[in-house]
Structure 1
């Protein structure tokens, strides 16, 4: 069964689901099932970090290039805020990882903002200047 995991993940997953549903745990690949479940949780954390990075990069561009503000930036900020709120609502346990996710995402955001604006990386604050409340507040815009 482990070989099938490496050659056809879709088929392996379907077989494992059948085994679990029928109560045949002795035939299920418990260790790999556990790894896949952990991987799913890690994907949710990565999604949080990715969404925060996109939002932070646009908030940085908004703040540091006011003359370049566009409808596209505005809509991206609004969209990412909505998606973040929804993601956190669907995964409330991610709140306990939010501080670390914000730190990781902000580092990525600096690189993205520097790449898109042409500004040097050191032009941006070293630490995230946006509070968690500001990050998700549709009424708040950096100046």
Structure 2
């Protein structure tokens, strides 16, 4: 047990006479980061640091929640993430065409046109085409 305590002290764990241990955040980060290495298991890392596996799992949960920030992994070569570029369709402007006894109202985006109710259909169609209105 003495060699285990000296190892833990060497990584920064405070060990009190009562046996209680205080794990600084940087040591917790290191423990969790080791569990994420290829081939590593929570049980093996917990045993190495003389911890219960459920304690290591609790620290992993903290890391997933963003409450324990892990060190950046050391890589020999830069790692690139793929970039996906998508065309964003422009948002449709609000459009409306109302015909009632008071007249005809055409709204496309910021443009608002009000016509008298007896406006010929051909003229209305010309105006609508000129505004670039496409029926839904």
Normalised TM-score (structure 1): 0.27
Tell me which of the two structures has the higher relative contact order, counting C-alpha pairs closer than 8 angstroms and 6 or more residues apart.
1
The structure where helix makes up a greater share of residues is: 1
The structure where strand makes up a greater share of residues is: 2
Normalised TM-score (structure 2): 0.27
